[in-house]
């Protein structure tokens, strides 16, 4: 269990308030709010009547056997898929309409998409600032379309400069801070292709931090990462969560879930369990959701 468990209730409110004050955002309800969601790629639902709310500052792990709908549910709550019935809200807005992308840091499974990208750690983390770029400064504050109409070449050049290079001092500070937080300052000029799996994951977490995300969504982030880096990775997640960042983790390693998450959601098309990790360990949800697989997946609950 993480060291932050004991303060996840009483002190959690204080942490949330501090975090809100820092980010200037106002939390008016749950970060994630799914109500009676049913979804199928075909006529057969793979998610059935799922309701799930996640509040600011929580550390939630989602578990379930292969093909149980975890990634689908993740896409529904991020608004990448639309429920057939029921509703999905993110930060109080309909998830599929939500466009405040910098509030969400998404770390995909072994960040595999980036493995072949010939870009440096600094460039990856810099991408986290793009959502914050003030395009109002393009064209001396003119609305972009007017500027493009009046001075097309100069404006296009400014847009390219802004997007591909010209970050403000505040942007660069955010990049540096994020790199320092994940312990990757020494690797800024290293290409992503020349990092270990654990270091690559840290770079992608830094990108999420640079964007000042207040919800981190991680899909089996430690697959293919060496054991030592996995421990360091979970320490980092715990400290980010202690700073008020909401963590939602899909994790197949039940031992890691029990050790680190405060709350477990156990899914197999429908929700089999949703509650504190201690109660999950004591419950029969694992055996019911996983069937016989549970016995050799983990000794949890024995």
Which residue ranges make up the site for ligand ATP (CB under 6 A)? 41, 46, 64, 66-72
* Contacts of 103 by beta carbon, 8 Å cutoff, 6+ apart: 25, 91, 212, 213, 214, 215
Beta carbon nearer to ligand ATP, 19 or 68: 68
Between CA 71 and CA 47 the distance in angstroms is 11
Beta carbon nearer to ligand ATP, 142 or 220: 220
H-helix or E-strand spanning residue 24: none
Between CA 89 and CA 83 the distance in angstroms is 11
Beta carbon nearer to ligand ATP, 184 or 267: 267
Beta carbon nearer to ligand ATP, 41 or 169: 41
Cα-based distances in Å from 5 to 59, 103, 263 = 9, 24, 10
Cα-based distances in Å from 226 to 110, 200, 231, 254, 296 = 11, 12, 9, 17, 22
**Chain-centroid distance, C-alpha 297:** 25
Q: How far is the CB of 249 from ligand ATP (least distance, A)?
A: 13
Between CA 199 and CA 193 the distance in angstroms is 10
Beta carbon nearer to ligand ATP, 210 or 256: 256
Q: Is 142 helix (H, G, I), strand (E, B) or coil?
A: coil
* Nearest to 107, CA basis, from 198, 29, 176, 181: 198
Q: How far is the CB of 66 from ligand ATP (least distance, A)?
A: 4
Give the number of other Cβ atoms within 10 Å of residue 285's Cβ.
23
Beta carbon nearer to ligand ATP, 221 or 244: 221
Beta carbon nearer to ligand ATP, 12 or 69: 69
């Amino acid at each position: 269990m993480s060291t932050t468990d004991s303060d996840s209730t009483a002190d959690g409110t204080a942490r949330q308030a501090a975090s809100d004050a820092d980010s200037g955002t106002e939390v008016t309800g749950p970060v994630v709010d799914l109500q009676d969601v049913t979804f199928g790629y075909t006529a057969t639902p793979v998610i059935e009547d799922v309701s799930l709310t996640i509040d600011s500052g929580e550390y939630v792990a989602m578990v379930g056997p292969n093909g149980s709908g975890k990634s689908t549910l993740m896409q529904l709550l991020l608004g990448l898929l639309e429920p057939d019935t029921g509703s999905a809200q993110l930060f109080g807005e309909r998830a599929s309409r939500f466009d405040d992308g910098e509030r969400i840091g998404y770390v995909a499974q072994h960040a595999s998409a980036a493995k072949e990208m010939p870009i440096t750690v600094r460039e990856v983390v810099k991408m986290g600032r793009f959502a914050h770029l003030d395009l109002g400064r393009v064209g001396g504050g003119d609305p972009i379309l007017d500027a493009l109409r009046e001075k097309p070449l100069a404006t296009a050049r400014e847009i390219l400069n802004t997007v591909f290079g010209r970050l403000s001092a505040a942007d660069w500070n955010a990049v540096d801070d994020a790199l320092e937080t994940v312990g990757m300052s020494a690797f800024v000029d290293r290409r992503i292709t020349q990092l270990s799996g654990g270091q690559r994951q840290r770079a992608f977490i830094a990108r999420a931090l640079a964007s000042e995300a207040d919800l981190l969504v991680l899909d089996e982030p430690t697959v293919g990462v060496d054991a030592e880096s996995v421990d360091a990775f979970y320490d980092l997640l715990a400290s980010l969560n202690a700073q008020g960042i909401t963590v939602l983790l899909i994790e197949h390693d039940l031992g890691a879930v029990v050790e680190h998450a405060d709350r477990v959601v156990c899914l197999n098309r429908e929700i089999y369990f949703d509650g504190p990790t201690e109660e999950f360990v004591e419950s029969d949800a694992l055996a019911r959701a996983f069937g016989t697989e549970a016995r050799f997946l983990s000794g949890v609950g024995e």
